[in-house]
Each structure stands twice: as structure tokens, then as C-alpha cells.
Amino acid sequence: MTPAQRLEAFRGELARLGVDGFFLPRGDEYLGEYVPASAERLAFLTGFSGSAGFALVLPDEAIVFSDGRYQEQMRGQIDPAIWRIGHQYETPPGAWLARHAGDRRVGYDPRVTAGQDLAMFRAAGVTMVPLPRNPVDAIWRERPDEPAGVAETQPERLSGRSTASKIAEIAACLRAEGQDAVVLGDPTSVAWLLNLRGTDLPCLPIIRAQALLRADGQVILFVAPDRVSDEVRAHLGASVTVVPPGAMEGVLRACGGLVVRLDPQRVPVWFAEILSASGATLREGTDPCLRPRAIKTQAERIGMRQAHRLDGVALCRFLAWLDRHGIGETESAAAAHLLALRRASPECAGASFPSIVASGPNAAIMHYLPDGRADRRIEAGSFLLVDSGGQYRCGTTDVTRTVWVGAAPPPEAWRDQYTRVLKGLIRLSRAVFPAGTPGYRLDPLAREALWEVGLDFDHGAGHGLGSYLSVHEWPLGFTRRPVLDSIEAGMVLTNEPGYYAPGSHGMRLENAMETLLAVGGGDGAFCRFDTLTRAPIDRSALRVGLLDEGERRWLDAYHACVLDEIGPLLPPDDAAWLGAACRPI
């Protein structure tokens, strides 16, 4: 089917279900950022393959929303003759739907819709109707099979905490707040709580599972029993009962009379509908696993440093190869070579997300993914943006480097932009701030040098980073919007300012940082950051005179650290290249 025929067939299915429109989120039944091929409903219907977004379909209107990272990508993937493009923060989706839907009935699938999304549309006055099945599935004739990997354990020597201690902490939290149970709809929370991992998704080492944790410390894990071996059951212990997902509704209906906590951002509304019908009392609250998961244990902090050293070896070898052989290679070939270098370490389980290797104007597409059938070749006289990461059993990495390709220097304006991006990276890296400061208050540090000349970037300046879990983890990190998630010691976050000129070029620099306690004072605890990433920052596009003395000292000290830690681990030719790349400015 053509895109237009697909949308027409979808509207026909809506009519058969008795609704006028539909809300189609990108997430699956687990509301995660990453979904298996079998759940890529948004991409199937619209053509948009980004990791965040949703569609609204009406009889005479259809629009796809996403955030600033994906505006350029949507313009290249979506047929403008049948779909509009929306920015979910600049064009409020609730107001848009209320204006265009009028008194029409708009359907949603309770299994894949978050409570906060449904509340947004209902607050705008839209009549939202739950449907018994997802209408996309009726027209998706060759839908891939769902993953069915087996659960694996994350050893306590790497997690730093036993499963029993984590269960006890969350159960105590529930008791303190007068709650009898909590629904854990996010598989990454289940993975953290039970020290489980898996292979259900290519870049996220989880098993797709949900759980109900009671205040008495009993856990019901919803996953097919044949996916949990006897060894894993022994690891889980007697407090964890494995129940097939098909029995989930019966378990929830038995919760009548209980006070049950739900996170409306991370739990599908189906759970609330079943629990309400059972007579349970619902309490909205943030997933109680988020904060303890974000504050890494000592074992996890040690593991993250080891992961970034291993990653640094692969990155430095890749950058040396790029300098010698990059011109003429395709973007996809470069991405494959980088992944092969990472996989050379026995500790590497794969990529933490599909690598962004973007040359020339593709670098202006913030989350561009190279396509082996039609990607660009790396050309002299252009920026190459490489945003990638690895999953190691001891930690997760995420790093971006932008390299100027070729001997001739870039235009002066581009050098100015690149240097201001680096200034933003350095200023945020050097921040000292009261513990508990929300990330949005630190975000301007990454933008100030760009703001000085009227430039900016349309994404957050960083995000939380998991420990052999999701590359994007709560807290949201450094955001332009006033999100109140606080930054505290023990958290690992990224620092990633950038600048993008659509159709021309783009640049981003990204390091991972551990949050540490700084020297205390009379006004309470203060924090600072310690950079974990170990890879040189390209200097061929720098305007060194634009850096102040403190910024130059930071860059020299950082490069000295990279050379000291990674140089001895490299083959001689790559070590020599790194020595030149890290020389003082």
C-alpha cells in the first residue's frame, strides 16, 4: 500500500470501531522509548521512525507530533500531502485536537496509552473512547513476531545491591505513604528492582515484563514462565512469583479494597481502568524505583568508569581510523566499523542505541540514522557528527564527537559555532551547584555562549544514563522546560550542547559525567561533575582565541587525562595519533 492507501484503510478501520479519530503513541504496552519491530505502529502508519512522538488521525486531518530533535527528520520521512508535522512543545497537542475534533469521538488503545496523555486530551474537552483492539494491527498484514528472549541476571558485584534489599526499600516507601501496592509498568524499573536483564530489544538489555509490588515485600512478575529459568527463579527468591501476562487482569481484579500506586507517565491507562473496576483506590505517584535507580551504587559507579575506559579505546581507535581512511567511506560503513571496534571488547553486549553517523547536511538532522542503501559518503570540507554508545555489562555509554574532515579549515562562521558549542560543554562540566538543583536551572550554562550571538539548539542539554540499562534514564537531565527533576550526587548524566543549520551542517559534543559532592560549605551540600568519557575533542575547527584561560586549561587537562588512561591501551599507530590529538593547545 502507498502511504495514502494505508491511511485510508486505517480510517476505514476507525469507522468500523465506531470512532471518528485515533490517538496513536509511539510506545508499546510498556510505554518505553525503544520498542521491538512488532510494535513500530507509528512508523508503519506514518513513515516516521523516530524514538519519540505520536499521531492524531481525524476524518479530514492527520498530524504527527514530536520534539525538537525530530522536526527535520519528520520533514524527510512523512508525506506532506497527507500528514501535518507538529512540535509537541510549541503546538499543544490537546488544544490542537480539541480545535479540530470538535464533538467527534476519538479512540485510543488503553494498553499503549499513558495516563498523562489521556488526561491531557480529556482536560482539553476531547471525547476519548477506549477501544477493544488497536486499529493499526488490523491493517498491518506482515507484522513481525514479538520478541521472546529469556531473562538473565545482573550479578550483585555489578549492581552493588541485592534484589531483596531493593524490594525492601520500595516496600518500605509504600508503607510510609499508606499504599498497599505499586504497579511497575516500565521494564527498566523491573530490571533494576530484580537485578534482571534480557535481549528483547536490540539496544536495551531488558526482558519486556511488568510487575506488581506489594507493601509486604511480595512481587508478582508478569512474564511468560518459560522465559524464566530455574537458575533465574532461584536468584529471584521466594518473594517473587512469576505469572503469565494473560493472568494479569485476574491479579489486578483481586486488588479490590487496596490502595494502589500508579505512575501516569509510565503505566498504561488499562491498569487504572481494571483496578478502578475492581474497587481499588488509585494513587498517582512517580515510579518509586526511579530515584534509587538513578543514584548509582559504588559498584555501578566503578562499573561506569570501566565502561567508559573500554569505550574510550574503541572511540580513539575509530577517530584515528577516520583521520586516516574516513574520506570516501559511507556513513553506514563508518557506523559498522565503530560498532565492530566496540564489540572487540568481550564486555560489550552491543550498541546502546543505533549509531548516528551524519556527514555534511545530514548532521543538521539531530537524530539522523544512516541507511546503507542511500547514505552519504564522507567528504572533505564537511563536518561529520558521530553520536553513539555501547552497552557493557558494567555500564552504559553515550558520546558524541563532531570532526572537521579535510585539511582546509572550515568557514570562519562555522568555527565560531563549533567553539561556542565546546564552550557550552566546558561551562556545564565545570558547574558547582546546590545538591537537589533541578536540571533546567543548569541547562543555560550549555547555551550561554550560543545565546551571545543569537543561536540555540532545540533539545535538552543532557539526560540521565543507565547502568547496563537505558541510555536515556530519569532524571530528564538538563532541559529547556521547567522540569523539577533534581540532580544529586551519584547520578550519571550526559552533557551535550549542539548547533544545527538545516540543509547545511550540524555539530554536537557530548560527554557523560558523574555527579559528585563538592567541598561543603555553611549553606548545605554542593555538587560538581566529573567527566567519564575518554575521547579527544577535535580541535581543527576551533577558534582558540574564543576560549578563555579557564576553558583552555580545562581542555588541556581533559586531553591529558584521555592520553594518560587510553594511550597505553592502544596499538602503537593509534597511540601515536592520540598523542597528537591530545597535545596541549
Assess if residue 538 is contained within a domain: yes
HEC profile of 77-91: HCCCCCCEEEECCCC
403 is a domain residue: yes
Are the C-beta atoms of 334 and 378 separated by less than 8 Å?
A: yes
- Average pLDDT of span 10-26: 97
Q: Is the pLDDT of residue 524 over 90?
A: no
Three-class SS of 474-523: EEEEECCCCCCCEECCCCEEEECCEEEECCCEEEECEEEEEEEECCCECC
Q: Are 256 and 180 in contact (CB under 8 A)?
A: no
Q: What is the extent of the structural domain holding 252?
A: 152-289
**Is the confidence at residue 541, as pLDDT, over 90?**
yes
Kindly report the pTM of this predicted structure: 0.94
Query: What's the pLDDT band for 128 if we cut at 50, 70, 90?
Result: very high
Whether 187 and 241 share a structural domain: yes
More confident call, 179 vs 523: 179
Instruction: Indicate whether 521 pLDDT > 80.
Output: no
Residues 156 and 243 in one domain: yes
Same domain, 103 and 248: no
Percent of the chain with pLDDT over 90: 96
Does 571 lie in the same domain as 489? yes
pLDDT over 70 percentage in the chain: 99
Could you tell me the three cell numbers for 482? 521547567
What residue type is assigned to position 259 of the chain?
V
d(CA 387, CA 51): 15
- In a domain, residue 145? The reply is no
Evaluate if residue 482 carries a pLDDT over 70: yes
- Of 289, 320, 347, the position where a domain reaches its end is 289
Question: Within 10 A of 288 (CB to CB), how many other CB atoms are there?
Answer: 23
- Quote the number of domains for the chain: 3
The CATH number assigned to the domain holding 370 equals 3.90.230.10
Specify if 555 maps to a domain. Answer: yes
Return the C-alpha cell found at 523.
549553606
Handedness of CA 391, 394, 398, 402 (dihedral sign): negative
For residue 98, being part of any structural domain is answered with yes
Q: Are residues 444 and 392 in the same domain?
A: yes
Q: How far apart are CA 384 and CA 160, in angstroms?
A: 38
Residue 523: per-residue pLDDT: 72
Q: Are 239 and 219 in contact (CB under 8 A)?
A: yes
Query: Which of 87, 106, 139 is the last residue in one of the domains?
Result: 139
Q: Is residue 146 part of a domain?
A: no
The domain that contains 167 carries what CATH number? 3.40.350.10
- Report the pLDDT value the prediction gives residue 8, as an integer from 0 to 100: 97
pLDDT digits (tens, 9 = 90+) for 360-380: 999 999 999 998 777 999 999
DSSP letter (8 states) at residue 283: E
Let me know whether 115 and 171 are in one domain.
no
Do 134 and 175 lie in one domain? The reply is no
What pLDDT does residue 522 have? 64
Specify the pLDDT at position 81: 95
Do 192 and 206 share a domain, yes or no?
A: yes
Same structural domain, 88 and 224 = no
SS3 213: strand
Q: At a CB cut-off of 8 Å and minimum separation 6, what does 59 contact?
A: 11, 20, 21, 104
> What is the rounded average pLDDT of the residues 291-297?
98
Residue ending a domain, choose from 85, 112, 139: 139
Contact 106, 97 (CB under 8 A): yes
pLDDT bin (cut points 50, 70, 90) of residue 565 is very high
At residue 517, does pLDDT exceed 80? yes
Say whether both 186 and 108 belong to one domain.
no
- In angstroms, the Cα distances linking 310 to 175, 345, 471 are 42, 7, 17
- In a domain, residue 147? The reply is no
- Does residue 418 sit in the same domain as residue 560? yes
- Tell me the CB-side half-sphere exposure of residue 344, using CA atoms within 13 A: 16
CA atoms within a 13 Å half-sphere pointing along the CA-CB vector of 232: 21
Residues 116 and 182 in one domain: no
Residue 91 C-alpha cell reads as 503546538
Nearest Cα residue to 224 out of 204, 210, 206:
210
Q: What is the pLDDT of residue 297?
A: 98
Dihedral-angle region of residue 477 (phi above 0 means left; psi in -120 to 50 means alpha; beta otherwise): left
CA 85: distance to chain centroid?
A: 22
Question: Does residue 476 have a pLDDT over 90?
Answer: no
| pLDDT at res. 1 | 87
Q: Is the pLDDT of residue 152 over 80?
A: yes
Q: What would the pLDDT profile of 102-117 be if each residue is shown by its tens digit?
A: 999 999 999 999 999 9
What is the reported pLDDT for 288? 98
Domain annotation covers residue 275? yes
End-to-end CA distance of the chain: 57
| Sign, CA torsion 113/118/120/121 | positive
- Could you read off the pLDDT of 323-337 as tens digits, one per residue? 999 999 999 999 999
